[in-house]
């Protein structure tokens, strides 16, 4: 249930509503927007009559949130949420381009890639160190050694790092290193993991499950938000369909649908949604035209030798070309590409 306060409601009146909600055993979520103060009463509210709030001083309107997700809904939080990273925001006017290899493989591979994507215009670095591989015999990632290498790449380029977390067991070590947790498609409904991330204040890139509906994605986001972590970004990465000529099918519809249903930023991953380097730029351009707030792209200095997802990884030159095109589309959409504030000094670490 949401309680919209009158524009001139006093802090005491807001406090009285909050006390009333807490007294009913419900959780409170306060959203102080430019237009209005909205107080969310979260929990089993269907049996509570709206009149319990309508009579209180300072209350303007009481509404039930019709969707099953509450904190994630645009009805509850009409303004776009901004997720602040190093000197830029995801979800506002700027387009965030996150790029890097599928897996961190070696020091030279990750640092070379980090420098190349930074020079091409990326604002964050991706790299997997715990990999969700279909086969238990395939490369599983470098683990903490990979996190050290990513931290070094961040030190050199100033790019914040986005790294996939697969289990709560990895949380304590990862939280020390990463700027953004990526929750992969296979873990979108790992509710224990989502709850554990909800307890942190580290930003999250939550990917849509292989056959998850948009509503299920939003319910998963709700798990993180309900824990108090508001720094959630959603990622469309293609869904399973009968079509076999691409790895997945990009649900381009998901972009405007999500922008309509939620205030959370929406990122597209055309690398996993197409599975082919040749198609990545086209779908990246389409995503920005459709209103996405950013892209996550796999880039590898030598895709033929990549230990995972080489087929869909762009060479740095192709990535740079794509960034230019995306920048032009962003401009048509009245937006611009985000860039980091962090210092960039390849020579600082004796690299180069
Ligand atoms: C990845 O980003 O490398 C990855 C495994 O993605 P997804 O979870 O979308 O398959
Ligand atoms: Mn990958």
285 lines ligand 1 (CB under 6 A): no
Confidence of residue 104 (pLDDT cuts 50, 70, 90): very high
Based on the number of CB atoms within 10 Å of its own CB, is 203 exposed (0-12), middle (13-18) or buried (19 or more)? buried
pLDDT at 186 over 60: yes
pLDDT at 86 over 90: no
Residue 185 Cα: closest atom of ligand 1 = 8
Ligand that comes closest to the CA of residue 267 = 1
Average pLDDT (247-267) is 98
Nearest Cα to Cα of residue 283 among 237, 214, 336, 320:
237
pLDDT at position 36, please?
Answer: 82
Q: Which two tokens stand for residue 13?
A: 């009146």
Helix locations, the chain, DSSP H:
11-23, 51-54, 107-120, 144-157, 171-175, 191-198, 214-226, 254-261, 270-274, 277-289, 316-332
Contact criterion met (CB below 8 Å) for 54 and 62: yes
300 lines ligand 1 (CB under 6 A): no
128 lines ligand 1 (CB under 6 A): yes
CA of 63 to the centre of ligand 2 (A): 42
- Cβ-based neighbours of 171, under 8 Å, separated by 6 or more: 165, 196, 197, 200
126 lines ligand 1 (CB under 6 A): no
CA atoms of 215 and 228, how far apart (whole Å): 20
Average pLDDT (91-108) is 98
For atom 10 of ligand 1, which residue has the closest CA?
185
Nearest Cα to Cα of residue 270 among 243, 301, 294, 305:
294
pLDDT at 342 over 70: no
Average pLDDT (92-105) is 98
Per-residue pLDDT tens over the stretch 111-164: 999 999 999 999 999 999 999 899 999 999 999 999 999 999 999 999 999 999
pLDDT at 349 over 80: no
pLDDT at 43 over 90: no
Confidence of residue 46 (pLDDT cuts 50, 70, 90): confident
For atom 4 of ligand 1, which residue has the closest CA?
184
The residue whose CB lies within 8 Å of the most ligand 1 atoms, and thus the one to mutate among 101, 128, 247, is 128
pLDDT at 45 over 80: yes
For atom 3 of ligand 1, which residue has the closest CA?
102
For atom 8 of ligand 1, which residue has the closest CA?
184
Contact criterion met (CB below 8 Å) for 273 and 235: no
Per-residue pLDDT tens over the stretch 188-210: 999 999 999 999 999 999 999 99
132 lines ligand 1 (CB under 6 A): yes
pLDDT at position 347, please?
Answer: 52
**What Cα–Cα distance (Å) separates residue 310 from each residue in 143, 149, 276, 303?**
20, 20, 9, 4
Per-residue pLDDT tens over the stretch 288-300: 999 999 999 999 9
Question: 36-71 b/e with 16+ CB inside 10 Å = b?
Answer: bbbbbbbbebeebeeebbeeeebbeebeebebebbb
Q: Which two tokens stand for residue 116?
A: 């190349």
Average pLDDT (347-351) is 52
Lowest-confidence pick of 28-32, 256-260, 288-292, 341-345: 341-345
pLDDT at position 28, please?
Answer: 93
pLDDT at position 345, please?
Answer: 60
pLDDT at 26 over 80: yes
**pTM, to two decimals:** 0.94
Question: 207-231 b/e with 16+ CB inside 10 Å = b?
Answer: bbbeebebebbbbbbbbbbbbebbb
Helix (H, G, I), strand (E, B) or coil at 4: strand
Q: What is the mean pLDDT of the chain?
A: 95
pLDDT at 266 over 70: yes
184 lines ligand 1 (CB under 6 A): yes
The residue whose CB lies within 8 Å of the most ligand 1 atoms, and thus the one to mutate among 133, 182, 235, 236, is 182
Average pLDDT (315-338) is 98
CA of 252 to the centre of ligand 2 (A): 19
Confidence of residue 350 (pLDDT cuts 50, 70, 90): low
The residue whose CB lies within 8 Å of the most ligand 1 atoms, and thus the one to mutate among 237, 238, 280, 297, is 237
Average pLDDT (47-76) is 93
């Amino acid at each position: 249930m949401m309680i919209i306060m009158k524009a001139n409601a006093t802090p005491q009146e807001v406090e009285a509503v909050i006390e009333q909600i807490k007294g009913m055993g419900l959780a409170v979520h306060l959203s102080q927007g430019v237009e209005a103060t909205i107080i969310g009463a979260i929990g089993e509210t269907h049996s509570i009559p709206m009149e319990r709030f309508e009579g209180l001083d300072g209350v303007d309107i009481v509404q039930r949130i019709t969707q099953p997700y509450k904190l994630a809904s645009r009805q509850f939080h009409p303004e776009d949420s901004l997720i602040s990273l190093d000197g830029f925001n995801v979800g506002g006017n700027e387009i965030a381009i996150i790029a890097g290899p599928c897996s961190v493989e070696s020091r030279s591979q990750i640092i070379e890639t980090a420098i190349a994507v930074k020079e091409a215009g990326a604002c964050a670095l991706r790299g997997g160190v715990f990999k969700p591989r279909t086969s238990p015999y395939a490369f599983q990632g470098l683990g903490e050694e990979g996190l050290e290498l990513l931290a070094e790449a961040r030190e050199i380029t100033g790019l914040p790092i986005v790294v996939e977390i697969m289990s709560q067991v990895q949380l304590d070590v990862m939280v020390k290193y990463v700027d953004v947790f990526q929750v992969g498609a296979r873990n979108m409904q790992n509710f224990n993991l989502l709850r554990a991330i909800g307890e942190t204040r580290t930003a999250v890139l939550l990917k849509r499950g292989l056959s998850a509906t948009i509503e299920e994605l939003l319910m998963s986001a709700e798990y993180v938000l309900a824990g108090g972590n508001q720094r959630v970004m959603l990622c469309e990465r293609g869904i399973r369909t009968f079509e076999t000529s691409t790895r997945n099918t990009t649900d381009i519809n998901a972009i405007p649908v999500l922008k309509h249903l939620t205030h959370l930023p929406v990122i597209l991953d055309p690398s996993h949604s197409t599975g082919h380097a040749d198609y990545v730029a086209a779908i990246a351009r389409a995503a920005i035209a459709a209103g996405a707030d950013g892209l996550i792209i796999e880039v590898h200095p030598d895709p033929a030798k990549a230990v995972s997802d080489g087929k869909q990884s762009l060479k740095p030159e192709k990535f740079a070309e794509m960034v230019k095109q995306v920048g032009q589309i962003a401009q048509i959409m009245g937006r611009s590409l985000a860039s980091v504030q962090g210092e960039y000094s390849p020579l600082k670490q004796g690299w180069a």
